[in-house]
Chains A and B, each alone.
Chain A
Amino acid sequence: MSTELVLYDEAGPRTRRRILIGSIAGGLLLLVLAFVVYRRLDTRGIFEAERWDIFTDPEVWEAIGRGLLATLKAAGAAAALAAVAGLVLCVLRTSPSPLVRRPAAVTIELFRGLPVVLLMFFAAVVLPVSLFWAVVIGLVIYNSAVVAEILRAGIASLPRGQTEAAAAIGLSDLQTLRLVLLPQAIRRMMPTLVSQLVVLNKDTSLGFIVGYFELLRTVQTLQFFFGDRYLFSFFFVAAGIYILLNVLISRLAIYLERRGSTKAAGGGVPRALAVVAAGTGENV
């Protein structure tokens, strides 16, 4: 908010009038555009009741529910496993011994540099596992590397005095990490970690490509079963569910960030860091 008032003055009466006129003109233009789209859809009967009557059938909702459940199950399992694996990778990556640190660094780079869908496909055709586990393994491999890097950034952001104080009272390296650095890093990075959950949740839809029956694949199957005229309706319901789910998780991340920055008891993220975390381009 503050930036916006720094970049330009509070609008005066003339500018306000011009903005109003421009907004109305732009709004009208958008309305015309929306109308064109509406006409285009309407001539193909998108808004007719027979395109949407399918949703009065409880069995359709049951099927969609099963797809959603499959998505959530994969996301949940992957998130839990990625958190543990990411923590382990982070401990290895920050080890003082290069013999441990280097291989961990290479592993992380490797895991981060590969497309998730390739990892899923790899697991599906090479490993003797079900499609569910193929999807989960693909997600865990990528996200554990990301979690490790997020935690490492969190540790790096802590004041050096934390490590020095831990050394002064005689803690070993591992104790320093476990008792002093990680608890603070995890709290600091909580908003970023939760944002990563959105990425993970979105990536479950890659299961569509390897043939796992998650929400999108379920919806496509329903469309094959009930006919093409329901394609639009099914697509919008599926997209709506994804967006709703992810918006809820994003809101949680924003809430945690606000709470963290007001209650700064060791857990507060410095403002600059929070801004950087929001736009690092890692959460694509």
Chain B
Amino acid sequence: MNAVFSNLDLYWVGFRTTLGLAVFAGLIALALGTLLAAMRVSPVPPLRWLGTAYVELVRNTPLTVVFFFFVFVAPQVDIVVPFFASAVAALSVYTAAFVCEAVRSGINSVGVGQAEAARSVGLTFPQVLGHVVLPQAVRSVVPPLVNVLIALAKNTSVAGGFFVAELFGVGKRLTNAYSTDVLAVLIGVALCYLVITIPAGALANRVERRVAVAR
């Protein structure tokens, strides 16, 4: 237990770093993912192909491999950035593909009649999407998006294996320093993750139920 309480400051640093990774990567992934989703439903075939290619490529690549690319391969072509930035890049690129799929399935969930009605009053594609479909899609997109962001929060732990001192990285370091107190150290780390993921999951469930009633 001592290993936990005498290192609360380290835990705090790790917790903050984890949150920082999740927030930065989350914002970038949301922007990139929404753009990709718009590309995938757009009338311009090459944009659709590009969006589809991105999603298929990234979805089938393990996150560890994406990290490996940004941390070990990118410096080979003189792209040298701090490990934190590499981690944010890897997490954003990876998560964007899943954000795209969540948004796209939300667009698909809006009734066909809505888009038809919007078009029959003469709205253009950007107007149909921006004024009619997306505002309604948001409702059914929020629960899966929250799930994607929860997964992102958990995925930040991979950064701990690539030289970023976030929660998992701190836990690894502390288990080396306190080999007799491993259990307490790791349970401490686990609790920190649960503090993030369980409330977020409960929130997702509540939103989901609300949306279900609203339909």
> Which residues on A are within 8 Å of B, measured CB to CB?
2-4, 6-9, 11, 15, 19, 22-23, 26-27, 40-41, 44, 109-110, 112-118, 121-122, 125-126, 198, 202-206, 208-209, 216, 220, 228, 231-232, 235, 238-239, 242-243, 246-247, 250, 272, 275-276, 278-284
Instruction: Name A239's contact: one of B47, B65, B152, B157 (CB within 8 Å).
Output: B65
Instruction: Name B186's contact: one of A109, A126, A250 (CB within 8 Å).
Output: A126
Do A246 and B171 contact each other (CB < 8 Å), given the known contacts A3-B107, A23-B45, A115-B155? no
Minimal Cβ-Cβ distance residue in A for B76: A231
Structural contact, A282 and B158, CB atoms closer than 8 A: no
Structural contact, B60 and A250, CB atoms closer than 8 A: yes
Structural contact, A2 and B62, CB atoms closer than 8 A: no
Q: Point out the residues of chain A lying under 8 angstroms from B168, CB to CB.
A: 115, 117-118, 121
Taking A6-B112, A206-B158 as given, write out 4 further A-B residue pairs in contact, using a Cβ cutoff of 8 Å, ordered by the A residue number. A7-B129, A117-B157, A242-B61, A284-B151
Which one of B2-10, B82-90, B140-148 is at the interface?
B140-148
Most central of B64, B98, B145, B182 by chain A CB within 10 Å: B64
Q: Point out the residues of chain B lying under 8 angstroms from A116, CB to CB.
A: 154
Structural contact, B151 and A281, CB atoms closer than 8 A: yes
Do A11 and B152 contact each other (CB < 8 Å), given the known contacts A41-B77, A109-B198, A114-B190? no
Structural contact, B115 and A7, CB atoms closer than 8 A: yes
Q: Could you tell me the distance in whole angstroms from the C-beta of A135 to the nearest C-beta in chain B? A: 12
Do A284 and B155 contact each other (CB < 8 Å), given the known contacts A113-B194, A231-B72, A232-B73? yes
A7 CA / B56 CA spacing, docked (Å): 23
Instruction: Name B108's contact: one of A3, A23, A40, A202 (CB within 8 Å).
Output: A3
Q: Point out the residues of chain A lying under 8 angstroms from B175, CB to CB.
A: 121, 125
Structural contact, A125 and B186, CB atoms closer than 8 A: yes
Report whether over half of chain A's contact residues are helix, strand or loop; otherwise say mixed. helix
Q: Could you tell me the distance in whole angstroms from the C-beta of A204 to the nearest C-beta in chain B? A: 8
A-B contact count (CB 8 A): 187
Indicate with 1 or 0, residue by residue over B46-77, a CB within 8 angstroms of chain A CB atoms. 11000000001101111111001100110011
Structural contact, A243 and B102, CB atoms closer than 8 A: no
Q: Which 3 A-B pairs have the closest CB atoms?
A: A279-B105, A209-B161, A281-B147
Indicate with 1 or 0, residue by residue over B155-195, a CB within 8 angstroms of chain A CB atoms. 11110110000001001100100000011001001100110
Structural contact, B144 and A280, CB atoms closer than 8 A: yes
Do A284 and B76 contact each other (CB < 8 Å), given the known contacts A117-B168, A239-B61? no
A25 CA / B155 CA spacing, docked (Å): 37
Q: Point out the residues of chain B lying under 8 angstroms from A125, CB to CB.
A: 175, 182, 186
A44 CA / B119 CA spacing, docked (Å): 52
Structural contact, A7 and B41, CB atoms closer than 8 A: yes
Q: Point out the residues of chain A lying under 8 angstroms from B152, CB to CB.
A: 284
A206 CA / B62 CA spacing, docked (Å): 9
Q: Point out the residues of chain B lying under 8 angstroms from A113, CB to CB.
A: 150, 154, 193-194, 197-198, 201
Instruction: Name A115's contact: one of B43, B46, B193 (CB within 8 Å).
Output: B193
A235 CA / B183 CA spacing, docked (Å): 35
Do A247 and B43 contact each other (CB < 8 Å), given the known contacts A7-B125, A279-B102, A284-B155? no
Instruction: Name A44's contact: one of B77, B143, B147, B171 (CB within 8 Å).
Output: B77
Q: Could you tell me the distance in whole angstroms from the C-beta of A192 to the nearest C-beta in chain B? A: 13
Q: Could you tell me the distance in whole angstroms from the C-beta of A207 to the nearest C-beta in chain B? A: 9
Do A284 and B148 contact each other (CB < 8 Å), given the known contacts A126-B186, A206-B158? yes
A22 CA / B182 CA spacing, docked (Å): 59
Instruction: Name A242's contact: one of B65, B133, B157, B160 (CB within 8 Å).
Output: B65
Q: Could you tell me the distance in whole angstroms from the C-beta of A17 to the nearest C-beta in chain B? A: 13
Instruction: Name A117's contact: one of B46, B158, B201 (CB within 8 Å).
Output: B158
Structural contact, B194 and A110, CB atoms closer than 8 A: yes
Most central of B65, B147, B155 by chain A CB within 10 Å: B65
Q: Could you tell me the distance in whole angstroms from the C-beta of A28 to the nearest C-beta in chain B? A: 11
Instruction: Name B60's contact: one of A4, A109, A243 (CB within 8 Å).
Output: A243
Q: Point out the residues of chain A lying under 8 angstroms from B183, CB to CB.
A: 126
Structural contact, A235 and B197, CB atoms closer than 8 A: no
A115 CA / B151 CA spacing, docked (Å): 8
Minimal Cβ-Cβ distance residue in B for A201: B62
Q: Point out the residues of chain A lying under 8 angstroms from B60, CB to CB.
A: 198, 202, 242-243, 246-247, 250
A19 CA / B158 CA spacing, docked (Å): 41
A153 CA / B72 CA spacing, docked (Å): 41
A228 CA / B69 CA spacing, docked (Å): 14
